[in-house]
Amino acid sequence: MTASKQNGLTESQAKVLKTVSDFIAENGYSPTAKEIAEILNVTQTSVFEQLSRLEKKRYITRQKGAARTIGILEQNCEKTPKNDGVKLVKVPVIGTIAAGVPIFADENMEGEILVDESNIGKGRFFALRVRGDSMINAGINNGDLVIIKRQPLAENGDIIAALIESEATLKRLSLSNGEVFLLPENEKYSPINVTCREDFRILGKMVTTVTVL
């Protein structure tokens, strides 16, 4: 198979990478393997193989079991894909939070995704990978990526990313009678009272989510 001029990728890998980039540019979210296969007129098995190789070569990042969480790792790409009328912004994806390390430090970043600016607006953003089922009644499932606008304050009822004991969590903010609670969207879990906690701070407000299908 002929090698691509794009940083040593094979022709098939370069086609899959370009298809993912173009799809994100047009839609603001990543394609499924089925959609890639249909666009390129190849089998899904072939697409899965190429995605695995692209991931090993650090061109993309994926979450197991997630249909729409293919992210482009920009450090290995020559340029950001563009599409007429679409302005893409790079949003860092935060992975495991290391104790004692600032949340936005490089150690906590697992890659970047490209998001259509018209879907999120202006500001500074980061993506947080959801772990657990505490927000399922809000349509947010384990493994989903949520886009967070960085801001230190939020309003009652907002879904926020908060930091408690060096761990990021996603909950609904409740302000009532001078008390501050973080509310889960799953009856299995109890509200968290953070009124007097010195280790609590708001990281930002959720603006959208990339849902696992």
- The set of catalytic residues is 134, 171
Q: What is the 3-state secondary structure (H, E, C) of 45-113?
A: HHHHHHHHHHHHCCCEECCCCCCCCCEECHHHCCCCCCECCECEEEEEEECCCCCCCCCCCHHHEEEEE
Whose structure tokens read 């290391």? 98
d(C-alpha 94, C-alpha 68), whole Å: 17
Strand order in the sheet with 125-129: 109-116, 88-94, 125-129, 145-150, 200-210, 159-164, 167-176, 179-183, 192-193
Q: Return the ∠ at Cα 27 (arms to 157 and 6), rounded to 5°.
A: 125
CA 124 to chain centroid: 14
Residue 46 and residue 148: Cα distance in Å, rounded?
34
Contacts of 60 (CB under 8 A, 6+ apart): 17, 20, 51, 54, 70, 71, 72, 73
